[in-house]
Amino acid sequence: MTQPLSRMIIGQADVDFSTLSINGDGGQCKVEPKVMKVLRVLADSAGRVVERDTLVDLVWGTPYGSDQRLSRAISLLRKAFGDVDGKCDYIETIPKCGYRLIAPLKAMPTVVNAIQTPARVTSLKPSEPSIAVLPFVDMSEAQDQGYLSDGISEEIINVLAKVVGLKVTGRTSSFAFKERNIGISEIAQTLNVTHILEGSLRKCGNKLRITAQLIQASDGFHLFSKAYESELTEIFDLQDRTAYSIVNELCSLLKLPGEQGAQKIITKSAQAYELFLRGRQLVHQLNGQTTIPTGIEFLEKSTKSDPDFALAWSWLALAHFILPEFSRTPNWLKHLERSRNAVEKALSIDPDSSIGLLVKAMIYARDGRLDLALMAHKRALDVDPNNIETLAGMGLGLMAIGLYDQARPYFDRVIEQDPLSGVWHTTYGGLLLNNGEFEKAEASFKHSFDLGFGAAAFGVSHRMASKGQVDEAVMFMKRNFDGLGPIEKAELKSPLVRQLVYSAYIRKNKIAQALLTFALKGRLRNPEAQPTAASVIGFLFLNRPKEFMHNILEKPNPYIGYTIARIWEPTQESFNIRNHADFPEFAERMGLVKAWQQHGWPKQLVPSELSDPSVPPEENDNSAELFTVIA
């Protein structure tokens, strides 16, 4: 069936899925939505046996009481078709197994009423197929396989992202609907996709069963329903088989070229893979004093179970690197060193690990090699061109060196494919700010905060204060304190400290600014105080350009690329950094000059003849003569 329709002839009956009606030998009758869904699953697999467990998983999503509901649904369908008194012309029972639709099918065209067509469909572009993979439901009796069901969903997203011509919604946005009772049509409208993939996982003893169904968003039609089963010891094989089977079905239906390249065996150890999934799930959560540290424990156990598991090493490197930004630790330097070791191990096993390359880029940036960081981001993008993280990484790499116009297309795609990720909307707000789109920038910051990214509150209040709405900005911070991230809330736990920060950052009170500057300098000198992006950007808000640059050079934070990207904003504080006497030396030490020579110069600077990379270094030993600040 190349073009799915919502109406068909089954045997002698006219079935309209959109109106829940069956017009058969016994006349026309309406059936319940779940009953019609059972028929749809059977029709999707016409002529093939569909097991009872598969029907239960796909239609009800819960094992409790569903067996009786299924028997009742089959009985009602047989009655509607006229399959009574022992007749079996439509639905055949396969004892101790399931059911099979044996009546012939014929697709019928559906007349679309333009007035009744939902408005959401107009925003979807049929020529641009797109899909969101919802987190699979854990239907195990103990409800303890969430890490596994999430892992399977993520792996399917990763495989689909490699399909040319298919737009795949990012993990953050897809997983925003986890455990929320929202209809498929509303989800599709929110994410602006043409297709939805949903499914479930059930563990029973040593058996693992996965069911999946692809749904067309425009009319709710089920394009296909599949079930996969294996021993628990073959978890990776099952997940891989599921992902690639779905990709092949989808590409066939949508006439897409399919995923290219050989399939990689990432690990042969079921134990290592289970530990990896548990660890990755925690690292994704980010916030919480013990969240990432616990994730690190699982990932370390995974790499011990399989020392050649490159993906586990890559995620271990990422977890160690970002931990100081999300969890208090006096051992932040040890985490950095462990991140370096882990990423080197990962890339020695798999030089094409996109996560490993992203971590390598972040380490380069922290080490003051923004030129090499951008090269690593480019390599990661070449390896994985449709991955949200690689797209965002390339965009941030360009933003760090001031090339906002070049960065914007990457973040346009990121926002389109991951619209419910708060952190990306904050970054996008910075892009809009740099382009002079101030109202849109403020709206983007607000949307980011509403999506749960607490640090965006400072972007909102800063924009409000810049318009003279100082009291409103302070009130916004007070009213939304509970929405801040854990690190920000911990730093601002004292009402006195909060008042000091608001007075310094928003009201620009000189005494408050002096006190806060003293506190931040003390943090910089304290070897146990971990560096964070917020503490460095604090110097920007306080209009302390020398301290801002000194902090980055002497105690760089995990997100140094985003921190440096702030110096290109059209604000007085950012201009004061660019125009500071120390900026040329800072730019050279951070690898900015080399990056500009390779990729182009930001619009705020004009390069001199001495900036030409062909000029021998001995002919120019003065970094101040390499460029002129014009804005």
Tell me whether strands 105-108 and 50-51 are parallel, antiparallel or unpaired.
unpaired
pLDDT at 35 over 50: yes
Predicted confidence at residue 310, as pLDDT, reads 96
Among the listed ranges 134-148, 210-224, 605-619, which one has the minimum average pLDDT value?
605-619
Domain match, 45 and 70 both: yes
User: pTM for this structure?
Assistant: 0.78
Domain match, 129 and 217 both: yes
Q: Which of 452, 476, 448 minimizes the C-alpha distance to 464?
A: 476
Residues 495-520 have a mean pLDDT of 94
Number of independent structural domains in the chain: 3
Looking up residue 286, the CATH number of its domain turns out to be: 1.25.40.10
Residue ranges of alpha helices (H) inside 422-544 are: 422-434, 438-450, 456-466, 470-479, 486-491, 495-505, 510-525, 533-541
pLDDT band for position 520 (50/70/90)? very high
pLDDT at 104 over 80: yes
Q: Are 184 and 193 in contact (CB under 8 A)?
A: no
Give the tens place of pLDDT for each residue, 312-337: 999 999 999 999 988 888 889 999 99
Looking up residue 77, the CATH number of its domain turns out to be: 1.10.10.10
Domain match, 220 and 295 both: no
pLDDT band for position 61 (50/70/90)? low
pLDDT at 111 over 90: no
Dist CA 77 CA 571 (whole Å):
67
Question: Residue 86 falls within a domain, yes or no?
Answer: yes
Domain match, 244 and 329 both: no
Phi-psi category of residue 57: left, alpha or beta, with phi > 0 → left and psi -120 to 50 → alpha: alpha
The mean pLDDT of the chain is: 86
Question: Residue 526 falls within a domain, yes or no?
Answer: no
pLDDT at 105 over 70: yes
Domain match, 218 and 126 both: yes
Among the listed ranges 43-57, 250-264, 535-549, which one has the minimum average pLDDT value?
250-264
Predicted confidence at residue 382, as pLDDT, reads 94
Residues 89-103 have a mean pLDDT of 86
Q: Are 532 and 329 in contact (CB under 8 A)?
A: no
**Domain ranges, residue 307:** 270-351
Give the tens place of pLDDT for each residue, 411-428: 999 999 999 999 999 999
Dist CA 35 CA 55 (whole Å):
11
Question: Residue 199 falls within a domain, yes or no?
Answer: yes
Q: Is 629 helix (H, G, I), strand (E, B) or coil?
A: strand
Predicted confidence at residue 64, as pLDDT, reads 52
Predicted confidence at residue 115, as pLDDT, reads 27
Query: How far from 277 is each of 91, 175, 320, 551, CA to CA, in Å?
Result: 40, 15, 17, 36
pLDDT band for position 114 (50/70/90)? very low
Domain match, 280 and 223 both: no
pLDDT band for position 119 (50/70/90)? very low
pLDDT at 4 over 50: no
Tell which wins on pLDDT, 113 or 541.
541
Domain match, 127 and 243 both: yes
pLDDT at 221 over 70: yes
pLDDT band for position 80 (50/70/90)? confident
Q: Are 489 and 481 in contact (CB under 8 A)?
A: yes
Tell which wins on pLDDT, 82 or 39.
39
**The token pair that represents 204 in the structure block:** 């029973």
Q: Are 258 and 251 in contact (CB under 8 A)?
A: yes
Residues 165-181 have a mean pLDDT of 88
pLDDT at 564 over 70: yes
Domain match, 127 and 235 both: yes
**The token pair that represents 207 in the structure block:** 């058996």
pLDDT band for position 140 (50/70/90)? confident
Question: Residue 172 falls within a domain, yes or no?
Answer: yes
Domain match, 125 and 211 both: yes
pLDDT at 354 over 80: yes
pLDDT band for position 97 (50/70/90)? confident
Looking up residue 196, the CATH number of its domain turns out to be: 3.40.50.10610
